[in-house]
């Protein structure tokens, strides 16, 4: 495997961190401590961790609302991310964004966006700015299969192709958009084929295979950086939880979900590390303990942080005049 022990364990630590962070967030939501919407990424962790490992720290990231994984994979402190979910002043967006609007501009994470496909033009604009300013930065834009049925996907990628912008679109095809299976909403189930409309190079990859994701993203990001224009990756995966909290999931059977869990990205990574003797059960135990403590600290930090003062309600809120 093209990975050293230190990297291998770091990837594992980040995937386990995202998983445990979200399991605790799910619990807190159930207790009414977190409000608003909460879309869990459980089952898709290899994409965020693999992609971040493939990028440079100042490559820009624009994401959809299922966004906890990206910011944690970038290394932002789980404390301030959890505080944001709790709507506290100590959160990354001072508690005003919540789960769907995580941003850390100092880490080149430009935000999660809730309007499906509405962020793709923003990513294209950022890529245009980078090209215009001659910065060697690539923008990666993450979104779901459902977003590719929206007109904005076509208009934005068309402009990116015309201008040969340094953009990599990463489509997480988790087979559903809310309760609608991909083949019921999209004329093309192999999403990567849509990139042919713009003659954008595109590949389909296994989104649960961490190294596969990392190496595919690395290749596409470096092509974009070299001036070859936008690229598209379809990473096929599955979300183990509902679309958001409170989804009764009548659109799929429990057997389907259980079968998909056989390909849990954390389980697959663990297996390949044991088989290649890069890690031992002891290593995994240590990671689990450390992550548990880190997430516990994040929860305590969020719970003990102050709520925003009512006088803050209109601060930093822009209303077009
Ligand atoms: C423009 C717009 N239409 C509809 C919605 C409601 N909506 C929220 S998430 C979602 C499904 C998107 O599915 P997908 O892009 O596959 O992402 P996933 O949730 O599977 O990660 C829809 C239809 C919305 N937020 N914005
Ligand atoms: Mg989807």
Range of the domain at 188: 5-73+113-302
Q: Which residue, judged by its Cα, is nearest atom 20 of ligand 1?
A: 177
Q: How many CB atoms lie within 10 A of CB 219?
A: 16
pLDDT at 4: 98
Among 185, 137, 126, CA closest to 160: 126
pLDDT at 100: 98
Ligand 1 center to 179 CA (angstroms): 10
Q: Residue 320 falls within a domain, yes or no? A: no
Q: Which two tokens stand for residue 248?
A: 């009764």
pLDDT bracket for residue 316 (50, 70, 90): confident
Average pLDDT, integer, range 79-85? 98
Pocket flag, ligand 1, residue 147 (CB < 6 Å)? yes
pLDDT at 139: 98
Ligand 1 center to 291 CA (angstroms): 30
318 pLDDT above the threshold of 90: no
For residue 215, the domain's CATH number is 3.40.50.970
Beta bridge partners of 141: 62, 169
Pocket flag, ligand 1, residue 114 (CB < 6 Å)? yes
Average pLDDT, whole number, for the chain? 97
Q: Is 246 exposed, middle or buried (0-12, 13-18, 19+ CB in 10 A)?
A: exposed
Pocket flag, ligand 1, residue 145 (CB < 6 Å)? yes
pLDDT bracket for residue 319 (50, 70, 90): confident
Pocket flag, ligand 1, residue 205 (CB < 6 Å)? no
Give percent above pLDDT 70 in the chain: 100
How many folded domains does the chain comprise? 1
Average pLDDT, integer, range 67-81? 98
Q: Residue 142 falls within a domain, yes or no? A: yes
Ligand 2 center to 179 CA (angstroms): 9
pLDDT at 313: 86
pLDDT at 317: 81
Q: Residue 162 falls within a domain, yes or no? A: yes
16 pLDDT above the threshold of 90: yes
DSSP 85: H
pLDDT bracket for residue 120 (50, 70, 90): very high
Q: Residue 321 falls within a domain, yes or no? A: no
Q: Residue 88 falls within a domain, yes or no? A: no
Pocket flag, ligand 1, residue 178 (CB < 6 Å)? yes
128 pLDDT above the threshold of 90: yes
Average pLDDT, integer, range 311-315? 89
H-helix or E-strand containing 111?
Answer: strand 109-113
Return the ligand 1 atom nearest residue 177 CA.
13
What ligand has the least distance to the C-alpha of 112?
1
pLDDT bracket for residue 38 (50, 70, 90): very high
pLDDT at 163: 98
pLDDT at 236: 98
Pocket flag, ligand 1, residue 66 (CB < 6 Å)? yes
Ligand 2 center to 313 CA (angstroms): 33
- b/e per residue, 188-198, with b = 16+ CB within 10 A? eeebbebbeeb
Q: Residue 250 falls within a domain, yes or no? A: yes
Return the ligand 1 atom nearest residue 173 CA.
16
Pocket flag, ligand 1, residue 174 (CB < 6 Å)? yes
Average pLDDT, integer, range 293-313? 96
3-state secondary structure 92-105: CCCCCCCCCCCCEH
Return the ligand 1 atom nearest residue 148 CA.
15
What confidence tens digit (pLDDT) does each residue in 206-253 have?
999 999 999 999 999 999 999 999 999 999 999 999 999 999 999 999
103 pLDDT above the threshold of 90: yes
102 pLDDT above the threshold of 80: yes
pLDDT bracket for residue 28 (50, 70, 90): very high
Q: Residue 260 falls within a domain, yes or no? A: yes
pLDDT at 206: 98
321 pLDDT above the threshold of 80: no
Pocket flag, ligand 1, residue 69 (CB < 6 Å)? no
Ligand 1 center to 147 CA (angstroms): 7
Q: Residue 86 falls within a domain, yes or no? A: no
For residues 307 and 289, give the distance between their C-alpha atoms in angstroms, rounded to a whole number: 30
Average pLDDT, integer, range 266-286? 98
Return the ligand 1 atom nearest residue 114 CA.
25
Pocket flag, ligand 1, residue 91 (CB < 6 Å)? no
């Amino acid at each position: 495997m093209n990975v050293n022990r230190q990297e291998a364990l770091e990837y594992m630590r980040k995937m386990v961190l995202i998983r445990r962070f979200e399991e605790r967030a799910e619990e807190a939501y159930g207790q009414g401590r977190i409000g608003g919407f909460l879309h869990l990424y459980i089952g898709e962790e290899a994409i965020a961790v693999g992609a971040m490992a493939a990028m440079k720290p100042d490559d820009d990231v624009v994401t959809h609302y299922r966004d906890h994984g990206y910011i944690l994979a970038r290394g932002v402190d789980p404390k301030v991310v959890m505080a944001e979910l709790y709507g506290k002043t100590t959160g990354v967006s001072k508690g005003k964004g919540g789960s769907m609007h995580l941003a850390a501009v100092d880490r080149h994470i430009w935000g999660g966006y809730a309007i499906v496909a509405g962020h793709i033009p923003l990513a294209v604009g950022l890529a245009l700015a980078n090209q215009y300013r001659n910065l060697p930065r690539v923008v990666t834009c993450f979104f779901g299969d459902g977003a590719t049925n929206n007109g904005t996907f076509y208009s934005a990628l068309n402009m990116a192709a015309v201008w040969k912008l340094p953009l990599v679109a990463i489509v997480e095809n988790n087979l559903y958009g809310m309760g609608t299976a991909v083949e019921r909403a999209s004329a093309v189930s192999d999403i990567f084929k849509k990139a042919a409309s713009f003659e954008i190079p595109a590949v389909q990859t296994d989104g649960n295979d961490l190294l596969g994701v990392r190496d595919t993203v690395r290749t596409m990001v470096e092509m974009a950086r070299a001036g070859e224009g936008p690229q598209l990756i379809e990473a096929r995966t599955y979300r183990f939880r509902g679309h958001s909290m409170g989804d009764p999931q009548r659109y799929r059977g429990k057997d389907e979900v259980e079968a998909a869990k056989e390909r849990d990205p954390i389980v697959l990574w663990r297996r390949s590390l044991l088989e290649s003797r890069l890690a031992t059960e002891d290593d995994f135990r240590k990671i689990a303990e450390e992550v548990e403590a880190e997430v516990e600290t994040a929860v305590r930090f969020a719970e003990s942080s102050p709520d925003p003062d009512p006088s803050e309600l209109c601060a930093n809120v822009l209303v077009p005049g």
